[in-house]
A and B are shown apart, each in its own frame.
Chain A
Amino acid sequence: MATELLTTGRRITKRPSGLNRKKTSDWVVLAVAIVLGFFIAVPFLMILVNSFKSPEDYATSGPLSLPTEFYTDGLTAFWERVNFPEKLWNSIYISGLVAVFAVVISMFNAFALGIGRVKGRSWIVVLILLANMLPQEVLLYPLYFMFKQVGLYDNQWAVIIIFTVIQSAFGTYLLASVYGTFPKGLLEAASLDGASRWRILWTVVFPISRPTLSVLLIFFFIWTWNEFLIPLTFLISNATQTVPVAITVLQGDRLMDVTTTSASALLGLIPTLIFFLIFQRTLTRGITAGAVK
């Protein structure tokens, strides 16, 4: 969604250099983008509105009205109940490590598969991709028994290892095809100069593909952040849990507390939003870089 908006944005700013006509179609595109953007924003706005409503207010006036008073008890209640800073740190810790590890592993794999041209590489890629394509429910029990055997059940490293593998599977797939089109001349020149493979990787391939790698890093971080099922299964102690798992504390057997749930959703969403805004530039640059190569 972000990409779409950003690309449309770019096209519109580029226009003045070309023809200044075609105004109507531009307006149509803009109008469609605004409408789309509005629909995308609706759930977020709902969360925002309901986070600051008291339960009584919600019960009497429904989910769509604006809050009558600025009510923050829901936010503080959730914050204290789950010890939010701890959960936040757990999420950052897990997602951060996964993102870094997965990018490094993807790069190594892709270097071998895309540039090294290993025999039967398309089959290897398909095999690796299985990790990504299999539904997590299928993986759950085998993983549970494996990690219980090695004593990593109820340990954050279980989640880190699992997601490093899953994310790097996708990363390998994507990077291998990017590296497959890597300019041959550069590589040949480097090896003529006597550079080892290791040096070629770090001094030629890595710097050139850095934009793509940073995009992967950001995606891996956000995807891992939003993961729910595997963290729910493997992080038993409250002290090890991530933000999405902590949010489920609010859903009861029969009743739900809409306002506090909204508040928790808001708290869970803000960090990824901030992360996205910080790295927004890198994202757009990286996507175009990937596309050109």
Chain B
Amino acid sequence: MKRHTRSAAALAAVGIGAMLLSGCSGGASHDEDTLVLWHYENADSAMGIAWNKAIDIFEEETGAKVQFEEKSFEQIRSTASQVLNSDEAPDILEYNKGNATAGLLSSQGLLTNLDEQVKKYGWDEKLAPSLQTTARYNEDGIMGSGSWYGVPNYGEYVEVYYNKDMFADAGLEVPTTLDEFESVMQAFVDEGITPLSEAAAEYPLGQLWYQLALTKADRDWVDAYQLYTDDVDFEGPEISYATETIADWTDKGFISPDSTGLKAEDAGVAFISGDYPIFFSGSWWYNRFNTEMDADWGTFLFPGAEMSPGSAGNMWSVPEKAQNKDLAYKFIDITMRPEIQAIIGNNGGVPVAANEEDIDADSQELIANFNTLTERDGIAFYPDWPTATFYDELNAGLQELLNGTKSPAEVQKQLGEQYQAGVDDIVG
């Protein structure tokens, strides 16, 4: 019985204590000298550091205060449409580019049309044409044309990372053509090393597949694939080459069939620890390799291709319900300045509007490769962009290819049908 009274008392205490302390929720409206800013970059990432600096400059120059809240990527991804439709909307936020995110919200009228500001501040002159693609959406929310709904502040692209120590041990040089690339990988296989660190459970193998298709493709093909300007022939030379080459490389031992179960993180970690000499993946790894990898490493663009997967990064958007839009525009403009862009570059990010001479030697290779790509109009976006479900479908198809359960012809036929079904849903 004693215990009963005690637990009853504890219960009551919890209840009463909770009732007493009912402090909650921040007020919806804020004064006109405050910029409410949301982004989801880690404070010590390239963007985090640069934007912190931008906040300081902004507060100094305008006298306004910045109320910054660090959000999670997941939270913005899954709740943006609700938040932006309420009075809790921030004045400016980092938002995900793409038809399913910024495109959808712009078509719902939740994002501010930035056309006027773009002209006024000249942001379009700072951004290469292929970087503008993800910032502009038409009235159906499809990217590539129409009005501006966001301003990308950084870029990303996919390139080849290689372990210099392992290349030196094997007496190999950086390949400049696809044939040379294959003979480099063959040389590793001859020594009993699987050359490519791959992961088919997530994006890496899909990006390699797309890159292989790009070696045979031109800008028209990319526009057809990404922006639905034309039908895409999945049995055409581009995709046939990609699918067959993946199968071929698996047969030759360049890619381990075990990678069907691996995730991007596994592949990256395996490259860091020197299990594989080559890793084909995005610029988002650059900083991590810099800090975590013992071996000497370098990068090069995929040999024999004019284009590579990549895009402008996520972008600044201004909600339609934002209270202090003018402050938001000023803030965007500050982040586009060369000095802020240089901070992004010097911390392992890829700036979109930096002066190359401001960049440290450490990061120059990364920025130079990106600039090479943008100059030759080589940013080709990602294979999974066109439809909402193609990411999983592509991964599943390529896993079957690696397993040998399906032939290249079967896989690309299936992918073609899935792609078309998804596109039909969007285009109607």
Which of A99, A207, A233, A253 is B73 in contact with, Cβ under 8 Å?
A: A253
Q: Within the assembled complex, what's the spacing in Å between the Cα atoms of A81 and B69? A: 11
**Chain A residue at minimum C-beta to C-beta distance from B289:** A59
Stretch of B3-11, B136-144, B219-227 lying at the A interface: B3-11
**Chain B residue at minimum C-beta to C-beta distance from A237:** B26
Stretch of A105-113, A122-130, A151-159, A191-199 lying at the B interface: A151-159
Interface string of B283-319 (1 = CB under 8 A from A): 0110010011110000000000000000000100000
Which B residues are in CB contact (< 8 Å) with A154? 25-26, 28, 86, 88
Which B residues are in CB contact (< 8 Å) with A56? 291-292
Known: A81-B43, A240-B25. A255 touches B284 (CB 8 A): yes
Known: A60-B294, A238-B70. A233 touches B272 (CB 8 A): no
Contact A58 B72 (CB under 8 A): no
B45 to chain A, nearest CB (A): 8
Which of B7, B18, B86, B288 is A93 in contact with, Cβ under 8 Å?
A: B18
- Counting chain A CB atoms within 10 Å of each CB, which of B24, B273, B293 scores highest? B24
A212 to chain B, nearest CB (A): 13
Interface string of A131-151 (1 = CB under 8 A from B): 000000000000010001000
Contact A251 B73 (CB under 8 A): yes
Interface string of A142-182 (1 = CB under 8 A from B): 00100010000111110000000000000000000000000
Number of A-B contacts (CB under 8 A): 109
- Size of B's binding interface in residues, CB under 8 A: 47
Which of A237, A238, A248 is B74 in contact with, Cβ under 8 Å?
A: A248
Contact B293 A59 (CB under 8 A): yes
Q: Within the assembled complex, what's the spacing in Å between the Cα atoms of A239 and B71? A: 11
Q: Is the interface of B mostly helix, strand, loop or mixed?
A: helix
Which of A62, A93, A148 is B21 in contact with, Cβ under 8 Å?
A: A93
Q: Is the interface of A mostly helix, strand, loop or mixed?
A: helix
Q: Within the assembled complex, what's the spacing in Å between the Cα atoms of A97 and B24? A: 14
Which of B25, B88, B285, B314 is A253 in contact with, Cβ under 8 Å?
A: B314
Q: Is B265 an interface residue (CB 8 A)?
A: yes
Contact A236 B83 (CB under 8 A): yes
Contact B24 A157 (CB under 8 A): yes
B211 to chain A, nearest CB (A): 17
- Counting chain B CB atoms within 10 Å of each CB, which of A61, A229, A248 scores highest? A248
- Counting chain A CB atoms within 10 Å of each CB, which of B28, B82, B265 scores highest? B82
B97 to chain A, nearest CB (A): 11
Q: Within the assembled complex, what's the spacing in Å between the Cα atoms of A251 and B42? A: 10
A101 to chain B, nearest CB (A): 8
Q: Within the assembled complex, what's the spacing in Å between the Cα atoms of A240 and B24? A: 7
Known: A60-B294, A237-B26. A251 touches B79 (CB 8 A): no
Contact A252 B88 (CB under 8 A): no
Q: Is B264 an interface residue (CB 8 A)?
A: yes
Contact A60 B273 (CB under 8 A): yes
- Size of A's binding interface in residues, CB under 8 A: 44
Q: Is B66 an interface residue (CB 8 A)?
A: no
Q: Is B168 an interface residue (CB 8 A)?
A: no
**Chain A residue at minimum C-beta to C-beta distance from B275:** A62
Which of B7, B11, B72, B292 is A249 in contact with, Cβ under 8 Å?
A: B72
Q: Within the assembled complex, what's the spacing in Å between the Cα atoms of A99 and B7? A: 14
Interface residues of B in 382-421 (CB under 8 A from A): none
**Chain B residue at minimum C-beta to C-beta distance from A155:** B25
Q: Is A222 an interface residue (CB 8 A)?
A: no
Contact B24 A155 (CB under 8 A): yes
A143 to chain B, nearest CB (A): 10
Q: Within the assembled complex, what's the spacing in Å between the Cα atoms of A232 and B73? A: 12
Contact B294 A100 (CB under 8 A): no
Which B residues are in CB contact (< 8 Å) with A81? 43, 70
Contact A254 B292 (CB under 8 A): no
Which A residues are in CB contact (< 8 Å) with B78? 229, 232-233
Contact A153 B88 (CB under 8 A): yes
Contact A100 B88 (CB under 8 A): no
Q: Is B361 an interface residue (CB 8 A)?
A: no
Which B residues are in CB contact (< 8 Å) with A233? 78-79, 82
Which B residues are in CB contact (< 8 Å) with A250? 72
Interface residues of A in 228-249 (CB under 8 A from B): 229, 232-233, 236-240, 245, 248-249
Q: Within the assembled complex, what's the spacing in Å between the Cα atoms of A251 and B76? A: 12
A180 to chain B, nearest CB (A): 23
**Chain B residue at minimum C-beta to C-beta distance from A140:** B82
Which A residues are in CB contact (< 8 Å) with B70? 81, 238, 249
Q: Within the assembled complex, what's the spacing in Å between the Cα atoms of A174 and B3? A: 24
Q: Is A258 an interface residue (CB 8 A)?
A: yes
Interface residues of B in 2-50 (CB under 8 A from A): 4, 7-8, 11, 14-15, 17-19, 21-22, 24-26, 28, 40, 42-43
Interface residues of A in 188-217 (CB under 8 A from B): 207, 210, 214, 217
Which A residues are in CB contact (< 8 Å) with B4? 207, 210
Which B residues are in CB contact (< 8 Å) with A284? none
Which B residues are in CB contact (< 8 Å) with A256? 265
**Chain A residue at minimum C-beta to C-beta distance from B283:** A254
Interface string of B203-246 (1 = CB under 8 A from A): 10000000000000000000000000000000000000000000
Q: Within the assembled complex, what's the spacing in Å between the Cα atoms of A112 and B83? A: 40
**Chain A residue at minimum C-beta to C-beta distance from B42:** A252
Contact B74 A232 (CB under 8 A): yes
Which B residues are in CB contact (< 8 Å) with A97? 15, 18-19
Which A residues are in CB contact (< 8 Å) with B86? 148, 153-154
Known: A59-B269, A144-B82, A254-B284. A100 touches B24 (CB 8 A): no
Which A residues are in CB contact (< 8 Å) with B75? 232, 245, 248
Which A residues are in CB contact (< 8 Å) with B175? none
B314 to chain A, nearest CB (A): 7
Q: Within the assembled complex, what's the spacing in Å between the Cα atoms of A157 and B21? A: 12
Which B residues are in CB contact (< 8 Å) with A290? none
A266 to chain B, nearest CB (A): 18
Contact B285 A255 (CB under 8 A): yes
Q: Within the assembled complex, what's the spacing in Å between the Cα atoms of A151 and B88? A: 11
Q: Is B146 an interface residue (CB 8 A)?
A: no
A contact residues vs B (CB 8 Å cutoff): 55-56, 58-62, 81, 93, 96-97, 99-100, 144, 148, 153-157, 207, 210, 214, 217, 229, 232-233, 236-240, 245, 248-256, 258, 282
- Extra contacts besides A237-B69, A240-B24 (8): CB < 8 Å: A61-B273, A62-B269, A97-B18, A97-B19, A100-B11, A245-B75, A253-B96, A254-B203
- Ordered by A's residue number, 9 sampled pairs between the chains whose C-beta atoms are within 8 Å are A59-B293, A62-B269, A99-B14, A154-B25, A154-B86, A238-B71, A240-B25, A254-B282, A258-B265
